[in-house]
Amino acid sequence: MNTLLIPLLVAIPLGGAFFIPLVARKVRVLADILGNLVTLAILICAILLFRVREVYNIGGWNAPIGITWVLDGFSNLMLVIICLISFVATLFSSQYMERYTAKYKYYSLFLLMVAGMNGVAMTGDMFNLFVFLEVASVASYALVAFGGEHEELEAAFKYLVLASIGSTLVLFGIAFIYGATGYLNMAAVSQAIRSAPRTPILTLAAVFFTVGFGIKAALVPFHPWLPDAHPSAPAPISAMLSGVLIKALGIYALTRVLFNVIGITPVYGAVLITVGALSMVIGVFLAVGQWDFKRLLAYHSISQMGYVVLGIGLGGYILASGGQKSVALLAIMGGIFHLANHSVFKSLLFLASGSIEYSTGTRQLKEMGGLLEKMPLTRATCTIASLSIAGVPPFNGFWSKLIIVIAAFQAGYPWLAAITILVSFVTLLSFIKVLRYAFLGHLPAALKTIRECPAMMSVALVVLAVFCTGMGLLLIPAAREMILDPAVGALANGVEYAQAILALR
């Protein structure tokens, strides 16, 4: 029975994307109902499948001839994150998107993007990784431009150009892999690479994948599209872009390929550590000087992705160098845990910014002030998210950052731990500024009549705030063994992962 749910994670949002425009063109509320039902349905499917380890052969054709979808600890965690943030975003969209026309088109594009991300998380085939990546990417280009104003169109065009370069590099990398091994199935490619000496073409493929997926993840120096795209998009789409899209199409895909297909090496691990550290530092210092709330959050997305890549890269470097495995597993767990935490607190921050913009009509912090009086719930949830991203205990961001710091010290790299702590301190300063200028001080005369955001938007904020407060409980041994350890194990097994996948068939 559970196996039958696997294709539904792609089929339901794809079906919804084509069905909603047929029945909801003139009834806007029907688009809201159907959009939320679809995201709720796939969230339920993802939860029911969470403990399932399965290889699903599409059409009954076995690999390497057929196409497979794979459920393991890492893909299951990624699917739950994608579906959870998608459901919360559609809840928020129900009232936020009333200011836009053609809501049925919005939900259609939204669900296409979700279907693409779910496909990326499950696919066991290199070419279909590219296909699903493009489905999600093309939908996201249109969603960034959904407002139709000059700012949105310019940001979407920049995003399209740079992300298309990333997609092209990924496609070339896949072509090199196919030319070197004769396979597209990830497990078969991994086995072929293990059984033959490494060739320069595999190194070239790894370079293309790193740059291509690095662009999708907006890692430094491949980040220029993100500070324009995230602020320009509607708030629920900003939450999706930062909360899950750059992870699914960038971080998840990159780590899958480097760890489980090509195989991590000390050089690849060192590259990830370097890119992660640069992203952390450059992103946070670019964010500090911003006064556009959403643009400030966009730069923090770059910085926080640095934490994820640093943790996973450090773990990969230790494993490839023959270091202490327990330290490597701790570093990878810190990176994956921060990936999950960031999905929640950054989505909450973007939705809170959308709530403020919805009520005040501005994103400029200098034009706000005194909103605590009029928007207490938005202020409370925004404060929780701000403390989470800054790594203040007991909120979720503190625990994942702490794990990365401990792993860096145990691995003998105190300078990496120092960078991590410094960036957290600067992040805290940045969000103190946000809270000071947005919620404290005197309420401008122009904002005297504003109100708290509507009910459904408030529900979305509260749901994510609860997760920010409680996700530290995932470190309780029973929860960690059920949720985090299987995801860590999927990456830490490296190319041996192929044997596990073949055994499931």
How far from 12 is each of 37, 95, 254, CA to CA, in Å?
10, 23, 26
What's the pLDDT tens digit per position in 240-288? 998 899 988 899 999 999 998 888 889 999 999 999 999 999 999 999 8
pLDDT of residue 303 exceeding 90: yes
pLDDT band per the 50, 70, 90 thresholds, residue 502: low
Q: What is the pLDDT of residue 500?
A: 58
Give the Cα separation of 163 and 462 in Å (integer).
Answer: 33
Higher pLDDT residue, 289 or 45? 45
pLDDT at 423: 94
The mean pLDDT value of the chain amounts to 89
CB 117 within 8 A of CB 133: no
**pLDDT above 60 for 505:** no
Each residue's pLDDT tens digit, 67-89: 788 888 899 999 999 999 999 99
Q: CA 61, CA 73: separation in Å to the nearest integer? A: 24
Q: How many Cα atoms sit within 13 Å of 143 on the Cβ side?
A: 30
Would you give the DSSP letter of residue 483? I
Average pLDDT over residues 39-55: 91
DSSP string, 376-435: HHHHHHHHHHHHHHTT-TTSHHHHHHHHHHHHHHHTT-HHHHHHHHHHHHHHHHHHHHHH
How far apart, in Å, are the Cα atoms of 315 and each of 37, 259, 334, 412, 496? 39, 11, 9, 12, 16
Report, as an integer, the average pLDDT of 3-23.
Answer: 90
- At residue 62 the predicted structure's pLDDT band, cuts being 50, 70 and 90, is low
Q: What is the pLDDT of residue 149?
A: 74
pLDDT tier for residue 439 given thresholds of 50, 70 and 90: confident
What pLDDT sits at residue 260? Answer: 87
Closest alpha carbon to 58 in 22, 6, 127: 6
Q: In sequence order, what E strands does 192-317 have? A: none
What is the spatial distance between Cα 80 and Cα 49, in angstroms, rounded to a whole number?
Answer: 9
Residue 148 pLDDT class (50, 70, 90 cuts): low
Q: 3-state DSSP call for residue 451?
A: coil
Q: Confidence band (pLDDT; 50, 70, 90) for 237?
A: very high
Lowest mean pLDDT among 52-61, 217-226, 351-360, 369-378: 52-61
Predicted pLDDT of residue 193: 84
152-202 pLDDT, tens digit per residue, is 888 888 999 999 999 999 999 999 999 888 888 888 888 888 877 777 888
> Considering the entire predicted model, what is its pTM?
0.93
pLDDT tens per residue, range 96-140: 888 877 888 999 999 999 999 999 999 988 999 999 999 999 999
From first CA to last CA, the distance across the chain in angstroms is 17
- Count of CB atoms within 10 A of residue 59's CB? 6
Helix, strand, coil % in the chain, rounded to nearest 5:
80, 5, 20
Per-residue DSSP letter, 195: T
User: What confidence tier does 60 reach under pLDDT thresholds 50, 70, 90?
Assistant: low
Q: What is the pLDDT of residue 213?
A: 94
For residues 499 and 265, the model is more confident at: 265
